[in-house]
Amino acid sequence: MRFVSRMIAVWLLAMAAVQAAECPRIVSQSPYLTMAIEWLGQGECIVGVSRYDTFKPALPRTGGVMDPDAKAIAALKPELVVGSDMASEAAFAAAVPKGATGVRLGGFGTMFEVEDMLETLARVIQSPEGGKVSGFRRGWFTRAKNSGARGERVLLLTACSGTPYSYGRKHVLGDLFHAAGFNVVDADVRVRAVRAGEAVADLPALIAMTQPDIVFTFNRAAETECKVVLEAKGFKLIALDGDNFLNPGHRMIDGLDEVTRIMRAQRTQ
């Protein structure tokens, strides 16, 4: 029995050593990457995060997404620094300590870019759960094709006050909603209007110009404010959970599930 116990102890130590070897010290320089690393099973490998990160509140801060703090990052002795391609190549390269690997990743352009981001990330962080990426690829595409949308013209709104702006086809959210069967109002509509001399000073002006069937917003805290503006004009507002949409990655599947529930419920009304 003592021999068996000793063998179990040796086996546990060996497994711990393997796990340690497969857990590189990671600095995550953008919140959506932190979420993805956690989902891919390497959350415990993260030793530092950007100042915008709310998912790892106890970890040291390492500057911003576009202005990484080279000194703070170096102090953590990372083996891997992952950041968003919103940071310039030069600024990011300057923040990666000598001997560490730096990887800039996208995810805000198209859904295929999100897939590529997750696949690359799984590889560089030595994820034990890289197979999840294939499941994500199948999952979001299948849900998009079964969302219940029927070509409704939609405005994907960023805010309800100030200068209005929306996510269009050149943004991952526009690409996602287009794949889900919606007719997405292009984000460049405001720019084109300004060039044509038609000022889009506020949300009512943008609504009048784009004439959407549905306005989606991704900030439930602003839902009341949005409703005041939109319902007075007779337009339908649907507030969605921003956490499921604004961080490119696996939670977009939850976002699509939410949209599907809403659209199917409306069909039965």
The confidence score (pLDDT) of residue 233 equals 66
> In the structure, what pLDDT confidence band is assigned to residue 161 with cuts at 50, 70 and 90?
low
Band (pLDDT 50/70/90 cuts) for residue 269 is: low
User: Domain segments of the chain: what residues?
Assistant: 2-130, 148-267
- The pLDDT value recorded for residue 266 is 81
More confident residue, 150 or 200: 150
Give 75-112 pLDDT, tens digit per residue: 999 999 999 999 999 999 999 999 999 999 999 999 99
At the fourth CATH level, which superfamily is domain 148-267?
Answer: Nitrogenase molybdenum iron protein domain (3.40.50.1980)
pLDDT of residue 222: 64
| Residue scoring higher pLDDT (44 or 17) | 44
pLDDT digits 0-9 by tens, 122-139: 999 999 999 999 999 999
Q: What is the mean pLDDT of residues 11-26?
A: 56
Determine the pLDDT at residue 128.
94
Q: pLDDT grade, residue 11 (50/70/90)?
A: very low
- Asked if 39 contacts 132 with a C-beta cutoff of 8 angstroms, the reply is yes
Phi and psi at residue 102, to the nearest 5°: -115, 135
Q: Looking at the domain covering 2-130, what would its CATH class be?
A: alpha beta
pLDDT-based confidence at residue 203 (cuts at 50, 70, 90) = confident
Q: Do domains 2-130 and 148-267 have the same CATH topology?
A: yes
